[in-house]
Each structure stands twice: as structure tokens, then as C-alpha cells.
Structure 1
Amino acid sequence: TKSEMKQGFGSSGAVVVATLGALNEFFQTGINKEKIYNLGCKTIWEVQGYGSGIDIAAATYGGIVKFLKGEIPEKVEFKDFPIVVGNTGFKAKSKPIIESVQVFEKKYPEVFESIYDNIGQLTKRALQAFKENDLETLGELMNINHGFLYALGVSSEILEKLVFASRKAGALGAKLSGAGIGDNMIALASPGSEKKIAEAIREAGGEPTVARIDEGLKIEEVK
């Protein structure tokens, strides 16, 4: 079969969550989003054998989510988060990317630990920026985060082209998204700059999508 869903958008997780939501509604089991999230994670792990669960969290809860593996996702309040997604055009397989990072960790344990800790600190600061609706700081943190991910070896030539094209077009920040190597990058747009950034991504060889944050799992009745 051939899917029209774009690569790297967490479509597997979205399908799992939508299916669980539909079954919950049909059979009136009354389970809440936390239970759907847990069931979704178990389903993905059984099928794929790996995964952080972040795609399941995003599809279930929507919005901006504070995510730590092993903990229940936490919704983060925000005013606006105008992003442009740039698709590289090819699907990156997560498992070999994860394995390459593990090789890096074993070869340079001190360096890896430092990068990992710094990414954690960036995330905490980004959480504060979200709460304060400080898009400029958030963009700067995205750029720094991308630098760390590049150092871990999970970027690629096409991702770098799209990231730097976005920044040149006025993005407040831009970074790779997901496992890296392929799939997508995201750019944080200043108000009104989305179209310019999207065109820059297209000219750099990517497929842009101007996106807005959605609400996650919801039930709609189709008559």
C-alpha cells in the first residue's frame, strides 16, 4: 500500500492514537487520555520494537507537551507557536541513527554526557520561554540545540541546507526534528514571515508546510 501521509510527521503514532480513540468511543470503555497514551506506547513498542513514545504523546495530548520518557506527558500553556516544517523528501530509519549515537557515546563518554546535560538545560530554558511567550529566546535555543544534534552526527547535508535557508529567510530559530538525517526540520517564524521561510525551504530542496499547533485526540461523529 502507498500512504499519502508525509514522512517524519509521526503518522504511525497518530494512526494508533486515532484507532484507540475510535475504539474507546465505539465500545464506551470510558478510558482517559492517559490510558490511551499508555496503550499507544505499548502498541508502538510491540510493533516497532523501539521508540520514545513522543509521537504518541503529541497525537494524544496535542499542543505543546513537556515529555520525559517514563513519565506522563505534561501540557504546556502557550500563546502562539508559528512554525514552518521542511521535509527532506526521504525517510530516515530511527534504529541505525540511534545505534550511531550509541557508538558516539561509547567512544566519547565524557563529551556525550556534556552534550546530553546541555540539551537538558536547553529544554528547561525553552520551557520557561514557552510560558513567557518569548519566541526570540526560544528561537535562539533551537539554534543551539541544532548545533548539539549536529555534533552527535544526526544531521545531514540536506537538513543543514534547509536549516540555514530558513534562518537566512528570517526564522527566529531552526533545527532538525525527530531522529535526524532525513525526515523534517522545523523553523520558528516571526509573525508574517511564514511564507518567506517556506519559499526558502522550497528553493533549498525541501517541501515546506506552514503549520499550527493542534489539539490532539478528539472525537468527531461523521453522519
Structure 2
Amino acid sequence: MISAQAPGKLYIAGEYAVVEPGYPAIIVALNQFVTVTIEESHDYGRIASKQYQENSLYWERQGTELVFDNRDNPFHYILSAIRLTEQYAQALGKPLGIYHLNVNSDLDSADGKKYGLGSSAAVTVATVKALCQFYDIHLSQDQLFKLAAIAHLDVQGNGSLGDIAASVYGGWIAYRAFDRDWLASARRELTLIDLLNTDWPGLEIELLTPPAPLRLLIGWTGSPASTSHLVDRIALFKATRRKSYHQFLDESRDCLHRMIQGFHNGDLVAIQREITFNRQLLNQLAHSSHVTIETKLLKTMCDTAVTLGGAAKSSGAGGGDCGIVIIDAAKDLAKLLHDWEQRGIEPLKLNVHHVTE
């Protein structure tokens, strides 16, 4: 039995700007995981998820193709990861096998609450990792990121792929997205092996060390958001208000550069100052584009944290889901968490997860 895990993630800062190549974000990997197991089979294969027991997917092998006996399934990211990883395995001369693949996720709660922790990215990464074990393929973290990023992009079609980076590298990372137009062209010109071994323009991934007193708190507001739809609506704003959009990009880039420098210097106050500024930038973007990023409950969550000495903002695309707080561990954290619960905000008991290659 082969087993592989990938962690969920949350954005700390740099949302929306990060979809543009070279514009930084800070993302953190969390200690909640998607686990993919693979067991060899001989006649037919099965793809199943503990979360979707009624939708198990059965398949057969016809040559190098996976042929399914039902089309209506929730496993698009898994299937894309299988397709890309097996394409890579074939390029390395590996014979393809048949297997049962099972998925179990603790990124959502036991009663089905969706916390917005990047389950689609984590399941993509975990599937690629498990299949690479199955086919005895060693990938570096950089190669794993690239293969999983292609598989994820083939399904989602937009986004920065920063959540893939968090699931691969773990910990706190500064991330700058690659040029997706370049990738589309390169896929027509390069083999998959060459594509995974070449530098991708714009892509930068740097592990960060937080200051010792820094404490990350996460609050969930109970209203899941669709990242893809929100990113699409900001793309419309980009097309119609180019000057305003580029001003937002420039200010976000400068803010993130200062924040990353705060990590390098171990300066919690500087990091908090830029978290506050990034929140203002996102609220300005929301106002200009008529997109709801900071919902009423997210605002309450953030404002409550600020009164107790924290710096807070929405996380990711916003529109619901989670908010984050960066606060000195010496502050009265118990009071803050109690205040959240009184206002219907669920504190998530999560810690940063570090990956060893």
C-alpha cells in the first residue's frame, strides 16, 4: 500500500496581485492534509474518496488510456493529476499499471464544513506524489510543483498556483507566479521531461522564517467562497480599468516586498503594518471592482483582532471562508478567540506544517 499526503494552505497576503507573473504573495501550509493511497490491482481500477463514497469511479486500461464506465464524477483534479503523471511515467519508459486510488481529506470538517484550505491543490499534489511512488519515480520539490501545477491549471484554468506551492514546499513561503502564457507555448514546444527541468519565467518560491513572537490565528466565517468566480470578476475589472488595476498591482508588490523584508529582519511590527496595509489595498480593490472580498463577518473578525493588538485581513479570494490574524503571542489570545466565538466566528485550531524533501 502506497500513501502520500499534502497539506492545505492559507494566503497571508498578496491575493489577486499574485495571479500576475512576478507579483509576490505570502502563503502558509497548514497541518491538515489530503491523503492519497494506491494499491495495485489487476483487472479494473477504482478511484474513491471517503468524502464521496457514493461516487466511486471505476476504470479499465485500454492501452495507455484510462477508460471510465461513468462520466459524472467529482474527481477532475485527481484525473488530471493521473493523466499528467502517467504521461511523465511513460516518457521515462515506465510500464503503466492498474490500481485502486483512495482519497481521504481532513481539510474540511467532519460535518462537511468547507474551510477554504485549498483541497483541490492538496489532492492534486498528493495524487502526483502517490503515483510517483507507485511508478518508482523520484521528483524534486521543483519538479513536483511543476507537474502538479500543470495538472491543476488544466482543470481550473486560472489562479496563481500558489496553493500548489504551499502543498509542495510547506511552511511559510514567498511566492511569485510563473508566466502562464509562456507555459502554454512551452507545452507545445517541449517534452514533459524538459518542461519539468527548465526554469519557468517569473516563478520564485522562497521559504520564510517568521519572528519568534509571531502567532498566526485563523477564523472561519462559515460562508464558503468560489475562488475561480471571484478571480474571474477581478479579471473583468482588469480589462476595463487598467490604470486602477496596475496601481493596485504596484502597491501590492511594494507592500509584499516590505513584508518579506520584515520576515528577513525578524520584525513582527513591520509584518503587522504591511498586513494592515494589504487589507486596505484589498478593500480598495473590492470597492473599485464591485466584488465582495471582505464580508461583514470577516470585517467583524478583523476589527475584533485589531482592538486586541493584532493585524488582520481576509485570506485568499475572500467573499467568505477564512480570515487571518498576525499577533504577538504575549497578547490575550484567549479573549480574542472567545470574542470570535461570541460573534459566530469559528477559530480553527491549525498550525503551520513544514515539509522535508
Task: Give TM class, smaller chain.
Answer: 0.7 to 0.9
Instruction: Name whichever of 138-147 and 93-102 sits farther off.
Output: 93-102
Asked if 1:178 is matched to 2:316, the reply is: yes
**In structure 2, distance between residues paired with 1:110 and 1:72:** 26
Larger fraction in strand: 2
**Matching of residues 15-94 of structure 1 within 5 Å:** 15-70=123-178, 71-80=203-212, 81-94=214-227
- Counterpart mapping for 1:1-223 below 5 A: 1=51, 5=108, 6-70=114-178, 71-80=203-212, 81-153=214-286, 154-171=293-310, 173-193=311-331, 194-216=333-355
The 1-side partners of 2:229 and 2:132 are apart by: 35
* Stretch moving more, 196-205 or 67-76: 196-205
Task: Indicate how the Cα distance of structure 1 residues 103 and 88 shifts in structure 2: closer, same or farther if over 3 A, else same.
Answer: same
Query: Which structure exhibits the higher relative contact order, with contacts defined as CA atoms closer than 8 Å and separated by 6 or more residues?
Result: 1
Per the normalisation by structure 1, the TM-score is 0.88
| Ranges in structure 2 where 5+ consecutive residues have no aligned partner | 1-50, 53-104, 109-113, 179-202, 287-292
Q: Counterpart amino acid of 1:216?
A: V
CA contact (8 A) 1:17 1:217 kept: no
Aligned with 1:212: secondary structure? coil
Cα offset, 1:217, TM superposition? 6.5
TM-score under structure 2 length normalisation: 0.57
Q: Quote the offset at 1:167 in angstroms.
A: 1.2
Return the letter of the residue paired with 1:13.
A
Which letter does structure 1 place at the counterpart of 2:324? I
Task: Say which structure is richer in helix.
Answer: 1
Q: CA contact under 8 A between 1:82 and 1:212: conserved in structure 2?
A: no
Q: Which residue identity does 2:347 align to in structure 1?
A: P
Deviation at 1:203, TM superposition (A): 2.3
In 2, Cα distance between the equivalents of 1:204 and 1:93? 24
User: Any idea what the Cα deviations from partners look like across 1:116-140, whole Å, max 9, x if unmatched?
Assistant: 2111000000000011111111111
Alignment: residue pair count: 217
Q: Distance in 2 between matches of 1:23 and 1:62?
A: 20
Q: For the Cα contact (< 8 Å) 2:217–2:325, is it kept in 1? A: yes
Instruction: Give the percent of matched residue pairs that are identical in Structure 1 and Structure 2.
Output: 26
Post-superposition CA distance 1:62-119 (Å, at most 9, x none): 1111111100422223344411111111211123212332333344332222222111
Deviates more, 1:84-93 or 1:4-13: 4-13
Where structure 1 has 5 or more consecutive residues not aligned to the other structure, the ranges are 219-223
Distance in 2 between residues matched to 1:207 and 1:49, nearest whole Å? 31
Query: Does the CA-based 8 Å contact 1:83-1:210 persist in structure 2?
Result: no
Structure 2 counterpart SS, 1:51: coil
Q: Secondary structure at the match of 1:179?
A: coil
Residues 191 and 168 of structure 1, relative CA distance in 2, 3 Å threshold: same
Q: Which moved more, 1:207-216 or 1:126-135?
A: 207-216
RMSD, matched Cα: 2.0
CA-CA distance at 1:46 after TM superposition: 1.8
The more displaced of 44-53 and 21-30 is 21-30
2-structure distance, mates of 1:211, 1:133: 22
Q: Is the 8 A contact 1:165 1:204 kept in 2?
A: no
1:14 and 1:121 mapped to 2: Cα distance?
Answer: 29
Q: Secondary structure at the match of 2:328?
A: coil
